[in-house]
A = this chain, B = another copy of it.
Amino acid sequence: MALIVQKYGGSSVKDTERIKNVAKRVAAYRQKGDQIVVVVSAMGGGTDNLIRLASEINKQPSEREMDMLLATGEQATIALLAMALHSLDLEAVSLTGAQAGIITDEVHTKAKIKNISPREVHAMLDAENVVIVAGFQGMTPDGRITTLGRGGSDLTAIALASTLEADLCQIYTDVDGVFTADPNLVSDARKLNEISYDEMLELSSLGARVMQSRSVEFAKKFNVTFEVRSSLNNNPGTIVKEETDSMEGVVARGVSLDENQAKVTLVGVPDKPGMAARIFSALAKGAINVDMIVQNISHGSATPATDMSFTTDKPDLLKALKVIEGLNREIEFTEVISDEGIAKVSVVGVGMRTHSGIAAKVFETLAAGGINIEMISTSEIKISVVVESEKGEAATQQLHDAFFLSKS
């Protein structure tokens, strides 16, 4: 008898028909004799409606009260799913995050799970129930309702799987798993059977379509192996787990495209110690997320200066430019250039560590395709390039062909 944690997101429970389908899937596992803990999100759309009501009342609603309000979403779903399982003659009980013992810190709307007291979940499992837990929510030690922020239901599932020492943790979504590239862009993208936590994290734009990176980080920290799979079919999904030796045999795990970034270049920054620190701590204070940072050698000899570029999320561009403007009094640079017309393409794989020539292959491929590279940044397991936004999809396709097609 195995203990399985399954998580179903908002689109899998968006109406009563979908909830019944989830119940059938849960029943199929339960009838094999396994113990099942199901984590569900709010019904797709329900949360938006609650947010609309709140905004009609208060443009800046209290975060404590937003949590109180939004937590009703999952609470409704868990009750409905329990009823659907009862219709299939299965014993099932629902538990709110608080009832399931999910204790968080006090940071409303983006609380962190501190610990889980699984007494009630164990008791309900022992009494032969399917246990349905409200995702995305928890309770502070003194009893206030909190929510975990984006991707919170995945986090609930992974944290429960860790605490309960589950044999299997399945994250059901509306895609078949993690692919070598976005199948909407690259028609011959292949589903991966497995991927390491780090690769999943680096494949951010691929990964983000499936899961928020904080859930992956959490799984990595507590070493929870999980499977990302579709709630619309019975195909096996992608296993996300700790890196194994055999993974290193594969040079590239996937190619990702991020079209949501903008580039900022400070031209002629004095080449003195502390310049980069000042710029990026100012941006950090402004809560501006910076992704790639590139600085090359300086030029000029009397007053050596360099160009410094970084990328940020497009919605943060205006804020970033304001911060930079404010810096012009303490740092003299000649010019600021910003460009929203960029795309970031990345090739990711833990095998890069042990294989050389991957960067060269990336550059050769793009050169052969006539695509100009504007910025380059590399990590141990990733090579990212910035190209013109119109070339982003082509670059993704060409890199995917180069790394995957020849071997399939």
Contacts and interface: CB of A to CB of B under 8 A. Distances in A.
Interface string A47-76: 000100110111001101110110111011
A336 interface: no
A58 B19 CA distance: 11
Contacts of A144: 99
Contact of A65 (B66, B73, B79): B79
B53 A65 contact: no
Contact of A99 (B20, B53, B143): B143
A247 to B, nearest CB: 43
Counting chain B CB atoms within 10 Å of each CB, the highest count among A58, A62, A68, A94 belongs to A68
A78 interface: yes
A48 to B, nearest CB: 14
A277 to B, nearest CB: 39
A69 B80 contact: yes
Nearest to A78: B68
Contact of A79 (B19, B69, B87, B96): B69
Contacts of A66: 79
A38 interface: no
Contact of A58 (B73, B76, B84): B84
Given A72-B72, A76-B50, A120-B143, A82 B94 contact: no
Tell me how many chains of this kind the complex includes: 2
B75 A61 contact: no
Interface in A110-128: 120
A240 B57 CA distance: 34
Contacts of A145: 96
A93 interface: yes
Contacts of A94: 65, 68
A365 to B, nearest CB: 52
Given A72-B75, A120-B143, A16 B56 contact: yes
Nearest to A144: B99
Given A71-B75, A72-B76, A75-B72, A83 B99 contact: no
B76 A61 contact: no
A86 interface: yes
A131 to B, nearest CB: 13
Given A20-B57, A62-B83, A72-B76, 8 more contacts: A19-B57, A50-B76, A57-B80, A58-B86, A61-B83, A65-B82, A65-B93, A68-B78
Interface of A: 16, 19-20, 50, 53-54, 56-58, 61-62, 64-66, 68-69, 71-73, 75-76, 78-80, 82-84, 86-87, 93-94, 96, 99, 120, 143-145
5 contacts: A16-B57, A53-B80, A65-B80, A68-B96, A69-B80
